[in-house]
């Protein structure tokens, strides 16, 4: 199955700070930009940070309980291959990243077993990175 890249534009109240974060933490390649927005190649997808006053959700994230953790809502991210997820988790831990939810295996031994981790960008946008033990179970019930 071939997937089309998605486009996601998110608000950031400090473009320079967010730009540094996405460049340094994830090593994302930049595309077009201005003083008020920046395009990034986010694992093959187009992520755009747009200057915007701080939103209430960035000040205090809402959460929903999932597998014993409080998952921030809204959030976005990408599903990586298992080894890519492990490498990213190790890189983030080595950088002393402050996680909202530390890297762990969710639904271990069940349908949809997955590795997951949550963190915030410096403007309070929640990101999730995950990997499925069996990619064929991404949409399994």
Query: Residue 38: is its pLDDT beyond 90?
Result: yes
Supply the range of the domain harboring residue 80. Answer: 63-141
Residue 58 lies in a domain: no
The answer to whether position 43 is within a domain reads: yes
Q: Are strands 69-73 and 62-66 parallel, antiparallel or unpaired?
A: antiparallel
- Sheet strands (E) in the chain: 7-12, 29-33, 37-42, 45-51, 62-66, 69-73, 76-79, 99-106, 114-120, 126-132
- Evaluate whether residue 137 is within a structural domain: yes
Check whether residue 85 and residue 34 sit in a common domain. no
Residues 127 and 101 grouped into a single domain: yes
Task: Give yes or no: residues 40 and 72 share one domain.
Answer: no
Tens of pLDDT along 39-72? 999 999 999 999 999 988 888 878 999 889 999 9
With respect to residue 122, please indicate whether it lies within any of the assigned structural domains. Answer: yes
Examine residue 57 and state whether it is found in any structural domain, yes or no: no
CATH number of the domain where residue 100 is located: 3.10.180.10
The pLDDT tens digits of the residues spanning 109-136 come to 988 899 999 999 999 999 999 999 999 8
């Amino acid at each position: 199955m071939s997937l089309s890249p998605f486009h996601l534009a998110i608000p950031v109240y400090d473009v320079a700070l967010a730009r540094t974060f996405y460049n340094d933490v994830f090593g994302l390649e930049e595309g077009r930009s201005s003083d008020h927005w920046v395009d990034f190649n986010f694992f093959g997808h187009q992520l755009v940070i747009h200057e915007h006053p701080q939103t209430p959700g960035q000040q205090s994230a809402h959460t929903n309980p999932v597998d014993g953790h409080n998952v921030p809502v809204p959030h976005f991210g990408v599903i990586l291959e298992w080894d890519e997820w492990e490498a990213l988790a190790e890189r983030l831990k080595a950088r002393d990243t402050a996680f909202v939810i530390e890297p762990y295996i969710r639904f271990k031994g069940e349908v949809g077993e997955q590795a997951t981790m949550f963190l915030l960008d410096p403007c309070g946008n929640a990101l999730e990175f995950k990997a499925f033990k069996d990619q064929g179970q991404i949409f399994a019930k």
